[in-house]
Amino acid sequence: LISRTLRNQLIIPSWLEFTQMIETIFDSCRESNEGEVASYIPQLARQSPHTWGMSICTIDGQRFSLGDSKKNFCLQSVSKAFNYAIVASEIGSHVLHQYVGHEPSGRLFNEICLDSNNMPHNPLINAGAIVVTSMIKPTHSMADRFDFMLKKYRKLAGGGHVGFDNATFLSERDTADRNYALSYYMKEYRCFPDESQVYEKGLREELDLYFQLCSLETNCDTAAVMAATLANGGICPLSTEKCLGSRPCRDILSLMYSCGMYDYSGKFAFQVGLPAKSGVSGIMIVVIPNVMGIALYSPPLDKTGNSCRGVAFCRQLIDKFNFHNY
């Protein structure tokens, strides 16, 4: 970072000016009182609607944070994006996609439906994410599988905080009828790979791993570094360690662009033009490829399930800077 600064080669050269504009956008979004905090489990319902945090990490490792950027939250569905990138880096995107499609489903994220090949539509809805989870080191013990993922997440985060919220995990598991129904349906259609543990051991453990990954805990400061690793072709800008294959990294950004924001994905791609993924805790990660990762956290969600302040921030960002892909 120092040598790039001295050579005037930073991806964002006028950092002070840039961060001042970001702060203006951030402050204007704080005033919003739209949206509802998710209430299906107490751990989410207890989140304050006033919480608002933002963090940026560039591919050079420059960082900027505002508001509640150190407040912890669960990754929830944002884990689906990283799980995909980690699994695809291990086994190859082409192998993974023998079991999961590439298309937006046009349905709710937890709907019981498959595409015309009897596969989940994409890896960012629950059905697809559960199949991707079944491909995580399928021959290993549950403890080793969880450990493997936690270590990978910590690498992506360049040493930032990635923990585990056991209360969220237990609550998720207690309110999981839909995910069980979805998974039994997929088992009937043999959507899982033959070598997965689903057919021999049943679904309980497999879904435990899916809930455990939804319950990984982090904060905006760390999530921005993880997003920056995606922006940087899989190399963590802080540690300079290669954590993900460059192809899976490209692939997850394509999928986030078309399917990352639930039923708002088309409009988000149109208006903001950047790959993003949201989660029901109120987190959003946004990736500006080859430039930076952004993490936004504010629990009130709009009708499509995306953070109200997070989406408002992205729209204003695109009004002020030409980061839109087109």
Question: Which residue ranges make up the site for ligand DON (CB under 6 A)?
Answer: 76-77, 109-110, 126, 172, 179, 214, 279-280
Measured from the CB atom, is 11 or 112 closer to ligand DON? 112
Query: For ligand DON, which is the closer residue by CB, 87 or 261?
Result: 261
Closest separation between CB of residue 172 and ligand DON, Å? 5
Which C-beta is closer to ligand DON: that of 279 or that of 299? Answer: 279
- If you compute the radius of gyration of the chain from its CA atoms, what whole number of angstroms results? 19
- Measured from the Cβ of residue 137, the count of other Cβ atoms closer than 10 Å reads 17
Nearer to ligand DON, 179 or 229 (CB): 179
With the CA atoms of 216, 218, 223 and 226 taken in that order, what torsion angle do they form, in degrees rounded to the nearest 10?
A: -50
Nearest residue to 301 (alpha-carbon basis) of 45, 112, 65, 129: 45
Helix axes 78-91, 246-259, angle to 10 degrees: 150
Torsion, CA 255, CA 261, CA 263, CA 265, rounded to 10: -60
Q: How far is the CB of 179 from ligand DON (least distance, A)?
A: 5
Q: Which residue is nearest to ligand DON (CB)?
A: 77
Beta bridge pairs of residue 285 = 277, 295
C-beta of 176: minimal distance to ligand DON in Å?
7
Closest to ligand DON by CB, 23 vs 263, is 263
N- to C-terminal Cα separation, the chain? 29
Give the containing element (helix H, strand E) for 311.
helix 308-320
> Shortest Cβ distance from residue 18 to ligand DON (Å)?
30
Q: Cβ 287 to ligand DON, closest distance in Å?
A: 18
